[in-house]
Every structure is written in C-alpha cells, then in structure tokens.
Chain A
Amino acid sequence: MDKLAESAASDAVSPVEKPHEAPPGWEPNILAFACHYCAFAAADLAGVMRLSYPSNVKVVRLPCTGKLDHIYVLRAFEKGVDGVFVAG
C-alpha cells in the first residue's frame, strides 16, 4: 500500500463495523428478485428437477431485473431481510 492510501485509510471518519457473529442455528432470511424470463424460469426448473435447496428464500417476480429499484433492496433490509439475491 502506498503512503497516500495508508493515510487515507487511517483518516477514515468511521471505521467499518465488524460483522456480528451469527448465533448458533441462525438461518438467514433471503429475498430474491428474479426476472420472469430467465431466473424465475430457472427456479421453476429447479423444482421440476426436484433439486433441493433451503426454504428460507422467497422469490419476488419482476418482468425484468432492469425493473429492480434501489428502494426494493433498501426496504427489504430495512424490514430485516438478511440477504437480497437479484437474478436475471
């Protein structure tokens, strides 16, 4: 790291918060935004093929992931969702 970057790092106003340790048995709650034409179809195919995955992910269907708005992601985190997955 060069000197300039080093001083910038030490001058940072608020240091990055350390992530909390996950309590034992904790399961994240995940919300997925999926494009109707590809990722949502892929999620369907996973079912048709009886592929198994954890049940803690719910899918919101969008006509295109280009439709995704920042507010959706922010609202999800604000409401306590642990992870947002955008697929399309």
Chain B
Amino acid sequence: MSEKTSSSDKHGSVLVVGGGIGAMQAALDLADGGFKVHMVQKDPAVGGTMVMLDKTFPTGDCAMCMISPKMVEVGRHLNIDIHTLAEVVSVEGKPGDFKVRVRLAPRYVDPDKCTGCADCEAKCPRKVTSEFEQGLSTRKAIYALFAQAVPNTRAIDASQCLYLTKGVCKSCQKVCKAGAINYEDKGREIELTVGAIILGPGLDRYDARVRGELGLGRWPNVVTSIQFERVLSASGPYKGEVKRPSDEKHPRKVAWIQCVGSRDSHNANPWCSSVCCMYATKQAIIAKEHDKNIEPTIFYMEMRAFGKDFDKYVERAKKDYGVRYQRAMISAVREEPGAGDLVLRYASEDGKLVDETFDMVVLSVGLEPHKNAVEFAQTFGIETTPYRFPMTSPLLPVRTSREGIYITGTYQGPKDIPETVMQGSAVAGEAMALLGEARGTETASKELPPERDLAGEDARIGVFVCHCGTNIASTVKVDEVVEEAKKLPGVVYATNTIYACAQDNQDVIKQTIHDQKLNRVVIASCTPRTHEPLFQETIREAGLNKYLFDLADIREQCSWCHMGKKEEATKKAKQIVRMSVAKSRLQQPISTDTVGVTPACMVIGGGIAGMTAALSLAEQGFQVHIVERESELGGLVRNLHRTLDGSDVQEFLESRIAAVQAHPRITVHTGTEVAKTEGFVGNFKTSLSSGAALEHGAIIIATGGVEYRPSEYLYGESERVVTQRELEKRLAGGEQPKADESFVMIQCVGSREEPNQYCSRVCCQDAIKNAIAIKERNPNAQVAILYRDIRTYGLREDYYKEARDRGVLFIRYEVDRKPAVEKTNDTIRVTAWDYMLNSELTLNADWLVLSTGLRPHPTTDRVGEMYKVTRNPDGYFLEAHVKLRPVDFPSEGVFVSGLAHAPKNLDETITQALASAGRAGVILSHERLAVSGIIAKHRRDLCMSCLSCFRVCPFDSPYIGEDGKVAHNEVKCMGCGICAGICPAKAFQVNNFRDDQILAMIDAAVECEEPGVIGG
C-alpha cells in the first residue's frame, strides 16, 4: 500500500469539502500529485453548480461536456474516496495532522451493489419536484441527481419514499436485481486523519422571492437565471426548446433583470455577484441561437465584462445577435391579466417612465453564502467576515485564519468557472507545499500480474452481452445477440450477464478469461466513455493487456433510443457487436512507455507571479530556476503601494524577495533571458543568455505585462496630468491633498475601445483606492471619476460604496462622447456630458488622473514563438482551455500565470501563480511519466517527410529529426489521429484505431445474417 514512509509526522492525505468544479480540480491535482484525497460532499453526487449550466461564457462551450469527463475521473480515481450525503461534524488537530469526524446520511442504496441501471427509478411511483431542474420538472423518490451523476448510485429521498414514510410500496426493492436496496440504512459516522483541509462548498443563490415586486413565485413566466439555464439545456425540462412555464409557448420578447439580490444592501446583499452580467449575455445569445425569433433585452446598471475576452463577447451579443442592453433599474414586474405576459416599468435614458411588455422575464439572481455558513466555518474553526465569507487576505488569497485549512472557489467570494478552477489548483499547490515530504506516503497502487505473452496465438474472443437489469433486455433480445456472437470468426465463447459492471461479475470475467483461455474480450453493454476503464482494469487483472478489450455500446446507442422496437433494436445490437468483434480480432497488445522526469522547474519572470510560483514549488521540494531579464526581482508590483483593502504591497514584496533569495532550492538568474529551450514534458533543456544550461521538467511562463503609457488627454504636455500609478506614488510619499484641491479621474484610457477592445480590470479599483486615500487625508478635497462602467466586481463593491459615501462624484460618459480636456492657466478644464442631468458639465481640475490600464509585455510574442504557444488578439497568452485549463498550455508541462495571461488584480495573480505551481507540481512529483497507449505510431520507413503532420498536429509532436526527416515524439502525442488522417503515405496509425480496424468495422457494419442482402 505505502510507497514510502513519511519522515515527519505529517499525513500525506487531504480532506476536500465540496464536490463542485473547484473541489474536483483540487482533488484531481492532489491525487495525481501523490496525495490521498477524501472528498466530502453533501449532495448525493459531485458536480456542484456547473452541472446545472447549459453553456458557458464567453466561448459557448457545453458545460456538461466539459465537466462530465472530470466527474468520471474523480469517480474512478484510485486515490480519491468520495463520501456523498456527508457532512463534517468536527475537526481537531494541527496542520499536517487533523482528525476529522464525518457524518454520512443514510442513502438506503448499497453503493457496492448498485450498478446505476435505474430500473428502480422507473418503477418508483412517487413523483417529487426536482431540485436539480429547479422545480420545472419532477424526479422520483429514488433518484440520481442528474443523468450523468457520479457516483451513479441511486439514493432514496427518505422524506418522500412511500415505504420509509408510510410503510407501503417496496417497488424499488422488488425490481432491483442487484439487491442493493436497504431500507434499514441508518447512516454512520467515520473518522479521517488528514494533513490538510480544503473547503470548497460553493455558494447558494439569492432567494428572489424576497423581492416580491419582481413577481418570482407569483407570475409563472418570471424565472430565475438558473431556471433559465435548465430551460436552455438539451437535457432540461423542455429539451432545450425555449418555452415559458405558464403555457409552454415560445416567448418572443425576453427580459433579463440584473443585480437581483446583488449590490443592494436593503433587501439583499451589498456585493456584486461577478458572474451575472456575463451569464445573462450568454443566456441571451444562446436563447437567440435556439430560437431566432427571440428578442432579448438586458436591464442593467453597469455592464461588468471585466474578464478575458468578455467585452468582445458583449460587443458580439449586441452586433451579431441583436441583444438589447438597456441601462435601467426595474422597480416592479406585473402580469397582464389573462395572457401571462409581463409589464416592466423603468425610466428610460431621457428620464421618462416607460411600460414595456415581455413574454418572459429572467431574474439574474446573485450568489450568497449558504444559510449555515457561520456554523460551517465554526466547525472548521476559521474566521468569517461580517458577510459570512471566510476571512482571507489579497496577499494570501486561499488561506484561512487557521493554518492548514485552505479555501477554493466561490466560497471565498463570487467568481466564474476558470477562476474557481484556478483556485482549485492553487489550494492543491498550497497543500502540496505544506505536506511536501509526506507525498506518496498514503496513496495506494495496484499490484498486477505480468501480462500474458500472446505470441503465436490466434484470436480467442470472449463476448459478454449485458442485460443491464431490464435496460437492455427489455428492448434487445439478449439471447439472440449471444447466439449471433457465437457464430462470428474468432469468438470462442459468448454469454449473457445481468450486470456486466457489477463487482461479482468482474470475478466471473476474470475466471472465464482463465478457463476459456481468452485473449480478447468484448463486452456489449453501455458506453465506453464511462465503463471502458473499469473493464480494461478487469482484464488487466486477469493478465491480459488492457488494450485487448472493446466495448459495444448497445444501451445508450441502441436499447435506450429504440424502445418498443424489439426487432430493429436486436438487429442493430447484433450489428454493433459484429463491428466490435471485427475490431477486437485485429487488436494487438500495446506497450506503454514511460519517460523520466527532471524534478526541477524553470520560471520565466521574477515578478510576484514568478516568485509566488517558485516559492510554492520549492516548498513542495523541487529545484526552481527563476529567469528574470531585469536586474532585480519584483516586476510591475514594484510600482504598487497598497491594495484596495489597504495591505502594504511593498512590505509584502520585500518579504517575498527575501524568501526567494534565502531559499536553498531556488536559483535566481537576473539580467538574463532564455536563449534556447528544447525537449518536452519532464525533460526540458534550456540555455540562458548568460551561458548557463538548465535541465528541468516543467516551465512556468510568468512574463507579466506593462502599464499603458497614454498619449491621450494632454498626458506629457502638462505636469498636472498624471496616471493613477503616479498619483499612488505621490500619495505613498505622504502628499496631503489640500481643501478644495480638485482631482478629476478618467477611466478606460486606452482600454475598451479599438484596437484594445478589452477591460484592464485593475483601473476601477485603482481609481477608487486613490479616491478614498485622498478623501481620507482631506475630506474637503474634491474627487470626480468619469467612468463608463464601474467594475468593482465581487466583494470590491464595498469600496465603490465607500467612495460614494465619502463624497466622490461618479459621472458616466459614453465612448462616443468622451470628455474633452484643455489646459487653462493653472488647471485642466474637463468638459463632459452628464447623462443624469442631460447637460454639459465643466470641471476645473488641479489634477487630471488617467486610469491607463495594462498591455501585454513586449517579450510576449518572442516567448510565445519560442514555446509555440499562441496569443489572443490582444496579445496575451492563450491558455489550453478557457474554462477548465486556465493555467495550462496545450503543450504538456508548460504553464502560465499572472499578467502574461490577462490583466488581473494582485490577489488573482497570486492565486494563478499558486495554481501553476500546483499543476507543475503534479508533473514533477512523478519519477516517470506514463505515455498513453492510444497514440499515433509513426513508421519512418513509410514517411516521405512531406510535413503534412507537422503542420496539422495541435500538440506539436511531429518534429524534424537530426537526420532532417520527420520524427515523432510520442510523449507529446494525444492520440487524436489528425496526422493519420492527413498522411498521404499512411505512415501514422493510431493504436486501436488503425485503418485496418476501422475498415473491418465498416465491413462488419454492412454484413448481415442473410448473405447477399446489403445493409440491414
């Protein structure tokens, strides 16, 4: 069991509380990085909020398609134990050694026996409103949270079950062939010992019924945004058709009302929920894609499109989809009698009151801590803010007040999916740094028998056809399929089985392999996407190479979609099995290589991102090289004095620099650049401009950004025109504003307009930070901020309110009507249009302060070309996946963090740096990396070096070898086979998807029982 014993008293295991995407990311990184993970989740399945979403902004990717493979991975990871319907009761101990008691609520279904066939669900007579579908449809009293739930074990809702409440029924027990139902389940308590604790319970949604005037719960066609996600979802109550609940008609005019439950300290929460502007934009676009007749209108106060590529998304919504953005607050929604239509009253831009009728209204509800947030925090002994969020600092963004306990995801504060995933990897990095020496002490690994040598053997295929309870057998005549399989060439054995995936059947399969001397196995049951790894493991345990297996999908792709058509379904099932056997006959054992890993990382960039990542990795136990082109460490943060909440940045920076310089495992190369890098994940070789040569297993690119030097608004022409950073420096130097001294600030200088159509994210906070500092020093100084949208997202909203309360004037301008500035004798005269007063406004400024934003670092392109990583149109590095791989590059072993990725605030840079250290740590923790079996094999004897593969490979795995001909790096190959498709010489073949196998499947698909008849 144990690979090594710990030299300290720290435990090599981590408790992860929560099961959303942030918690899953943390669990996977930790488990892949050599730690045992216990996941405690209060729901019956993992998935959190993301599984309820239809699509995601700003790319329109399907949420379930992205998260589903992650859930499967978490569900079957050897070193992740999922405890569902579970809650932590108590925590004792110290960092490295916590004792945690966990209460498991009764499930009434034995997870060891349940196969997830859902026969019980079909038979259960009790219909219950579905929480997952947000009340828009029903589920049964025995249920899975959603179709793709992990674990797939059903659970009985004790409050609804007829037997458990009234003592009658037992339908589920009668129908369950696996005998998994246990009405006597009482639940239990377990004790876990872990080294660190990660909290990721997520947030709740604001209950919009509190705002009665908006009509939720009263008018049926007023829905919440999460209900609308389900409306849009192809697996939702309307199967993706946009309908309204009252009459299931297709709505034409749909209104979104923003900030419901957010930015409102009277009936709701004072903070900004960060995600609603973007999800409303996404919902409007997707609704329009589903039904082109829909006319979406979004009623908003400020459009907070502050993230990477968000402003472009909003522009597209306006221009390409005709989404109307109306800046107005909605005071009330009332239903027109009879029709179910809804009338919204608002003040238009010119101040007139307007009544407008819509067919459907979506309330963009905000996020808030769970009702039990305070008790939850008390259980773990961590401090909370007055808003019931856990107490953190922008400089230590994922640490709580108790050492060894970290937080991830929205629990810390509202945030979107990529930031949540980033925090997942960041807490994994923090826990790895804390428990570094205990890595690998508690993880399990499997002892496997040697693989049987098949040399000289003909194919001896065994076919197992699954009934899946009645899921397959009620539609497909399983016995006929078995008989058909027996006739196929190469098949020496065929049988049926009630549940192919049941634990006891794995032993049957292994015994049969032995008894019948099988050398290939085909199972006809469900989808390979979820079940192939299980069966591969089983045959491997019986001494067969795991690639001598094929799964014929006769459930998802046959019985479930041809119900009631027994003959047709049976015929199709036979064909599917025939195709599978044809492929299986040609299967060969595949040996998987491993490559060694150099346990060191090179970090390019010695700013706060680079130093944070370096310190984390060094604490984890790895050698780190920081390569910084400037003569000293620190980067852009050298110009920053205070954070919005008042933390001293320079003091923090000094402490980081001192820690980096003192760390025995960190080497700093200042005044140096990377001259050349070659190699691949685990094995990079780099030469520096200084002549030094480094060997390392991973690379973190943290090359940073630069501040924009403006040419607008008389900058450089008058010493009274300064940037926010210059003002901050003066204030830090102790400058005291005088009474009536006037500061006018202009936002979005050089941002959010062509050619820089993006938000620099930091400038609103910078302006408010400096404005508050001025007012603090002299309340009689005058500050006015000319802005387009104030983007104090999340908990930063408090400071916006504070600035207003202190008398800072906020005056909105539009991009096509920018403020005009001119020099007068000793002031700067600023003229702007005031949209509130509908008149021109003149301000005489002693100081004109420009909020100038950020630009990519000038070296970004050169570094990008060196590592073949792409940049987005704005010049920032493009990550491997905008949602789920926010710090990875498509090239394995190369990561990004900080401003090189996109503009962001200091706390976000630190988080991302910790995340890149977490991700790099996963790779470096392996002595050897296994290469996947499903990769393209390259035959140099057939290759003509035409470079077709070289051009199309997304992973950069073909390369030009030393002999000048194409060679193939299998370590980088992901097995997509694009090379094989394009290669004119057929020099590439993908293992298990070889051309001869695919052609055999095609041939088998058209063969049929009666010779001479084509098709079937």
What is the interface of chain A, defined by CB distance below 8 A to chain B? 27, 29, 31, 36-38, 40-41, 43-53, 55-56, 58-64, 66-69, 71-72, 75-76, 79-82
Cβ of A38 and Cβ of B981 under 8 Å apart?
Answer: no
CB-CB under 8 A from A72, the residues of chain B are: 998-999, 1002
Cβ of A67 and Cβ of B1006 under 8 Å apart?
Answer: no
What's the Cα separation between A45 and B68 when bound, in Å? 11
CB-CB under 8 A from A31, the residues of chain B are: 1002, 1005-1006
Cβ of B557 and Cβ of A80 under 8 Å apart?
Answer: no
Cβ of A48 and Cβ of B1014 under 8 Å apart?
Answer: no
Chief secondary structure at chain B's binding surface: helix
Contact-residue size bin, chain B (C-beta under 8 Å from the other chain):
35 or more
CB-CB under 8 A from B558, the residues of chain A are: 47, 55
With A64-B978, A69-B995: A46-B561 Cβ-Cβ less than 8 Å: yes
A45-B64, A48-B560, A71-B995 provided; 9 other pairs, C-beta below 8 A?
A44-B553, A45-B235, A46-B556, A46-B561, A49-B239, A51-B561, A67-B980, A79-B1003, A81-B1006
Cβ of A41 and Cβ of B65 under 8 Å apart?
Answer: yes
CB-CB under 8 A from A45, the residues of chain B are: 64, 147, 234-235, 556
The chain B residue with its CB closest to the CB of A68 is B981
Cβ of A43 and Cβ of B977 under 8 Å apart?
Answer: no
Shortest Cβ distance from residue B57 to the other chain A in the assembled complex, whole angstroms: 19
Partner of A59, one of B557, B980, B995: B557
The chain A residue with its CB closest to the CB of B978 is A66
With A55-B568, A55-B571, A58-B576: A63-B977 Cβ-Cβ less than 8 Å: yes
CB-CB under 8 A from B993, the residues of chain A are: 62-63, 67
CB-CB under 8 A from B560, the residues of chain A are: 47-48, 50
B669 in contact (CB, < 8 A): no
What's the Cα separation between A47 and B977 when bound, in Å? 27
What's the Cα separation between A71 and B64 when bound, in Å? 33
CB-CB under 8 A from B563, the residues of chain A are: 50, 52
Cβ of B980 and Cβ of A69 under 8 Å apart?
Answer: yes
B150 in contact (CB, < 8 A): no
B762 in contact (CB, < 8 A): no
Report which residue of B527, B528, B571 has the largest number of chain A beta carbons within 10 angstroms of its beta carbon: B527
B572 in contact (CB, < 8 A): yes
B463 in contact (CB, < 8 A): no
With A38-B65, A60-B1002, A72-B1002: A55-B562 Cβ-Cβ less than 8 Å: yes
B575 in contact (CB, < 8 A): yes
Shortest Cβ distance from residue B427 to the other chain A in the assembled complex, whole angstroms: 28
With A48-B147, A50-B561: A64-B1005 Cβ-Cβ less than 8 Å: no
Kindly identify, within residues 535 to 574 of chain B, every residue whose CB is under 8 Å from any CB belonging to chain A: 553, 555-563, 565, 568-569, 571-572
Shortest Cβ distance from residue A9 to the other chain B in the assembled complex, whole angstroms: 33
CB-CB under 8 A from B952, the residues of chain A are: 66
What's the Cα separation between A38 and B61 when bound, in Å? 11
What's the Cα separation between A38 and B234 when bound, in Å? 14
What's the Cα separation between A44 and B662 when bound, in Å? 55
What's the Cα separation between A36 and B72 when bound, in Å? 15
Partner of A63, one of B147, B975, B982: B975
What's the Cα separation between A62 and B975 when bound, in Å? 10
What are 24 A-B contacts defined by CB distance under 8 Å? A27-B1015, A40-B529, A43-B557, A47-B559, A47-B560, A48-B148, A48-B235, A51-B239, A52-B562, A52-B563, A55-B562, A59-B557, A60-B998, A60-B1005, A63-B975, A64-B976, A66-B978, A66-B981, A67-B993, A71-B999, A72-B999, A75-B1002, A81-B1005, A81-B1006
The chain A residue with its CB closest to the CB of B568 is A55
What's the Cα separation between A82 and B561 when bound, in Å? 21
Kindly identify, within residues 143 to 197 of chain B, every residue whose CB is under 8 Å from any CB belonging to chain A: 147-148
What's the Cα separation between A49 and B233 when bound, in Å? 12
The chain B residue with its CB closest to the CB of A53 is B561
The chain B residue with its CB closest to the CB of A52 is B561
B579 in contact (CB, < 8 A): yes
CB-CB under 8 A from B1001, the residues of chain A are: 60
CB-CB under 8 A from B576, the residues of chain A are: 58
B934 in contact (CB, < 8 A): yes
B990 in contact (CB, < 8 A): yes
CB-CB under 8 A from A67, the residues of chain B are: 976-978, 980-981, 990, 993
B1016 in contact (CB, < 8 A): yes
The chain B residue with its CB closest to the CB of A31 is B1005
Shortest Cβ distance from residue A21 to the other chain B in the assembled complex, whole angstroms: 18
CB-CB under 8 A from A52, the residues of chain B are: 561-563
What's the Cα separation between A58 and B571 when bound, in Å? 11
Partner of A58, one of B529, B975, B1005: B1005
Shortest Cβ distance from residue A57 to the other chain B in the assembled complex, whole angstroms: 9
Shortest Cβ distance from residue B606 to the other chain A in the assembled complex, whole angstroms: 38
CB-CB under 8 A from A80, the residues of chain B are: 1006, 1014-1015
Cβ of A29 and Cβ of B1015 under 8 Å apart?
Answer: yes
Kindly identify, within residues 432 to 463 of chain B, every residue whose CB is under 8 Å from any CB belonging to chain A: none
What's the Cα separation between A7 and B773 when bound, in Å? 81
Cβ of B999 and Cβ of A48 under 8 Å apart?
Answer: no
